[in-house]
Amino acid sequence: MGNLHKGHMALIDKAKSYDSHVMASIFINPLQFNDASDFNNYPKSLDNDIDLLSKHGCDSVFIPDSSILDNIKEIKAPDKALHLCGMNRPGHFDGVLTIVNKLFEITKPTRSFFGKKDFQQLRLIKDFIKEKNLSIEIISVDTVRELNGLALSSRNNRLSDSDREKAAMLYKTLSTIKEKSDDLSYEMIQMYKDELTQQGFTVDYLSVCNPSTLKDLKDFHKKPILVAIAASISGIRLIDNILID
């Protein structure tokens, strides 16, 4: 959706390694916003985006206007979209899959690259490709982080310096949970949620779940597990995750 950063460029760099024509698409998709003001305030930096893509060797950029939504085929996301970010963002992943399907129809990629930071989105797109038997290889790329561990996001630009430093607590929390994964308990997860709340975060969720179904786990000792978090600081919502296998 534009407002590109080093995380997006990691996708371009990975795509370039396949020695094929690399295309990026930029479209701020209104279908995946639950809040009209969030959509209207979404940062736009098209000239900088194109310049950054060019510097990383992207061969072409597809920048559709709103007419791409005319008579668009609506895709209903499966039930696993109701977990994690879908709990409090109804219809969000319907909008994601709807526009991704349309982009795939137009651009007809051989491969498509997605970041692991948006793990739920990645899982849903992989499942969609398999369900529809599309001949597109979905390639996941590791999360790119700031020096303090904060996952890169377009939303980070809206953080104050102090909030940006504080936001590093999200990844530190995930890393600590990974270190203690053999002794995980519901009480421990609740303790970490309480600590984040005390530091000024509004915690949407801190979930230990099955990375395939995205359902909360009852037995934390069965690996692999995904630990995923969504929390807001000063009204800016951030997500992150860590896979423990």
Whole-angstrom Cα distance, residue 1 to residue 111? 19
Instruction: Give the residue from 118, 141, 164 where a domain finishes.
Output: 141
pLDDT given at position 213? 97
Instruction: Calculate what percentage of the chain has a pLDDT beyond 90.
Output: 93
**Catalytic positions, please?**
8
Q: What is the pLDDT of residue 149?
A: 98
More confident residue, 42 or 211: 211
* Among candidate residues 116, 141, 166, the one where a domain is terminated: 141
CA-CA-CA-CA dihedral for 34, 111, 214, 37, to nearest 10? -10
Q: What is the pLDDT of residue 85?
A: 97
Residue 222 pLDDT: 87
Domain hosting 194: range is 154-244
Residue 36 above 90 pLDDT? no
Give kind and range of the element (H or E) at residue 150.
none
Number of domains forming the structure of the chain: 2
pLDDT of the residue at 194: 98
What is the reported pLDDT for 180? Answer: 95
Buried b (16+ CB within 10 A) or exposed e, 163-183: bbebbbbbbebbeebeeebee
Question: Distance between CA atoms of 96 and 15, rounded to whole angstroms?
Answer: 21
> What CATH number corresponds to the domain at position 22?
3.40.50.620
**Band (34; pLDDT cuts 50, 70, 90):** confident
Whether residue 146 is contained in a domain is answered as no
Question: For the chain, what is the mean pLDDT?
Answer: 96
Confidence grade of residue 43 (pLDDT, cut at 50, 70, 90): confident
User: Is 149 inside any structural domain?
Assistant: no
Among 141, 168, 198, the domain-final residue is 141
Asked if 170 and 231 count as a contact pair (C-beta separation under 8 A), the reply is yes
pLDDT digits (tens, 9 = 90+) for 128-172: 999 999 999 999 999 999 999 999 999 999 999 999 999 999 999
- In 3D space, the residue among 57, 70, 54, 76 whose CA is nearest the CA of residue 106 turns out to be 70
- pLDDT at residue 38 in the model: 84
CATH no. for residue 166?
Answer: 3.30.1300.10
One domain for residues 137 and 163: no
pLDDT of residue 42 exceeding 90? no
**Shared-domain flag, residues 22 and 92:** yes
When pLDDT is averaged across residues 46-70 and rounded to a whole number, the result is 98
pLDDT of 96-137, one tens digit each? 999 999 999 999 999 999 999 999 999 999 999 999 999 999
Residue 148 lies in a domain: no
Residues 126 and 186 reside in one and the same domain: no
| DSSP states of 53-98 | HHHTT--EEE---GGGGTTPPP----GGGGSGGGGSSTTHHHHHHH
pLDDT tens digits along 6-32: 999 999 999 999 999 999 999 999 999
pTM above 0.75, yes or no: yes
